[in-house]
Amino acid sequence: MGPIEYVAVARGTVVLVSHQETGAHFDYLVEDVLRDIPTGAEFKTTRPRGGFTFHLLVGGDLVFVCATSPDASLHVAFQCLAQVKERFLLGSLPVRAQVAEQHELDRDFGSVAAEIMSRCNEGQSKES
């Protein structure tokens, strides 16, 4: 297990896709974090919850989230989120995200999120 334990893409408080490496109950924690996050702007923020640190990259209506241990590198977390955002914004997913239900995009993007998370945890910053 690497420093990044959970990755998700949300629209408001709706988690559209997520991937995690542990058995922690991240859905509950991330929904609690997302309630406090305004959308419609572009910014980065970090919030502690449930013994984890949630890093958020907000871009318009979408929020890209990862959870780490409190001592994990901010640089690695936000580098990973930038990669998730870049890949998610390719193709039709941003349009589908506007009306998708909870976890509806897991099948389409879950494996991509897992691959990015794995690379970030192994210290590889970009795709080969």
> What is the Cα–Cα distance from 113 to 48, expressed in whole angstroms?
22
Residue 31 contacts residue 51 (beta carbons within 8 Å): no
pLDDT score recorded for residue 22: 83
| pLDDT grade for 128, boundaries at 50, 70 and 90 | very low
Q: Over 71-128, what HEC string results? A: CCCHHHHHHHHHHHHHHHCCCCHHHHHCCCCCCCCHHHHHHHHHHHHHHHHCCCCCCC
Whether pLDDT at 118 is above 50: yes
Q: What is the pLDDT of residues 32-64, one digit of tens each?
A: 999 999 988 899 999 999 999 999 999 989 999
Is 108 domain-assigned?
A: yes
Rounded mean pLDDT, 6-22: 95
* pLDDT digit string, tens, across residues 54-110: 999 999 899 999 999 999 999 999 999 999 999 999 989 999 999 999 999 999 999
**CA–CA distance, 128 with 74 (Å, rounded to integer):** 23
Q: Which residues of 30-43 are buried (b: 16+ CB within 10 A; e: fewer)?
A: beebbeebeeeeee
Task: Return the ∠ at Cα 108 (arms to 90 and 7), rounded to 5°.
Answer: 80
Spatial distance between the Cα atoms of 14 and 103, rounded to a whole number of angstroms? 8
Question: Above 70 in pLDDT, residue 126?
Answer: no
Instruction: Please report whether residue 8 resides in a domain.
Output: yes
Q: Give a yes or no: residue 43 inside a domain.
A: yes
Residue 114 falls within a domain, yes or no? yes
Q: Which residue segment(s) compose the domain that 97 sits in?
A: 4-121
Reported as a pLDDT band with limits 50, 70 and 90, residue 116 is very high
- Tally of domains within the chain: 1
Is residue 127 in a domain?
Answer: no
Structure tokens at 54: 């949630």
pLDDT of residue 125: 57
